[in-house]
């Protein structure tokens, strides 16, 4: 299961990435949550797989309004369509996870995938629960970073 040594870098990377790349000031909102699966109540999920010394997934979940505002600030203009919105969210997630895991050796990141819709659920194959880090950007809205990882070789088969 993921420990606090992994959680704080994700919080720090989220704050620094959104501040630097979007000019916005996110902050934690409430306590961490543990979940066995993720139900998509935000309508947009960015997914990035992690492999190597640590295996699992990191999600960026947000609603379309928050996503559009983040990507608009990131690109300097509103996304023209859902494809451009998804590309912007994927790139922000890639930067964020790369920054959070920069100090870990033997870790590779997959290409991010963005899921848009309503009602999807995401489960993990291993026994590690999802750790949900709720975040907010004042006057913009809420989003979450959601992490489910295990050290390589500790998966339940």
> In this predicted model, what pLDDT tens digit does every residue of 2-38 receive, in sequence order?
566 778 899 999 999 999 999 999 999 999 998 877 6
- What residue has token string 């590309």? 87
Q: Mean of the pLDDT values across residues 36-46?
A: 76
Per-residue confidence (pLDDT) for residue 106, from 0 to 100: 80
Single pTM value for the model: 0.88
CB-based contact 134:28 (threshold 8 Å):
yes
CB-based contact 13:135 (threshold 8 Å):
no
Domain 4-151 has CATH 3.40.1550.10: yes
CA 72, 30, 28, 115 torsion: positive or negative?
negative
Q: Mean of the pLDDT values across residues 43-53?
A: 90
Per-residue confidence (pLDDT) for residue 43, from 0 to 100: 86
Instruction: Report whether pLDDT(134) > 60.
Output: yes
Nearest residue to 22 via CA among 91, 82, 84: 91
Question: 3-class DSSP state for residue 79?
Answer: coil
C-alpha 147/C-alpha 122 separation (Å) is 12
Q: Mean of the pLDDT values across residues 62-74?
A: 97
């Amino acid at each position: 299961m993921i420990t606090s040594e992994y959680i704080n870098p994700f919080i720090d990377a989220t704050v620094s990435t959104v501040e630097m790349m979007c000019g916005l000031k996110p902050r934690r909102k409430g306590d961490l949550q543990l979940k066995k699966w993720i139900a998509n109540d935000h309508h947009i999920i960015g997914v990035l797989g992690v492999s190597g010394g640590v295996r699992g997934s990191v999600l960026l979940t947000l609603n379309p309004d928050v996503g559009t505002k983040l990507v608009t600030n990131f690109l300097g203009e509103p996304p023209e369509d859902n494809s451009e919105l998804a590309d912007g969210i994927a790139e922000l997630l890639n930067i964020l996870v790369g920054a959070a895991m920069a100090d870990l050796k033997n870790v590779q990141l997959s290409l991010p995938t963005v899921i848009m819709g309503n009602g999807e659920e995401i489960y993990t194959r291993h026994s590690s629960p999802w750790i949900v880090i709720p975040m907010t950007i004042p006057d913009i809205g809420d989003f979450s970073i959601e992490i489910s990882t295990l050290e390589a070789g500790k998966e339940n088969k």
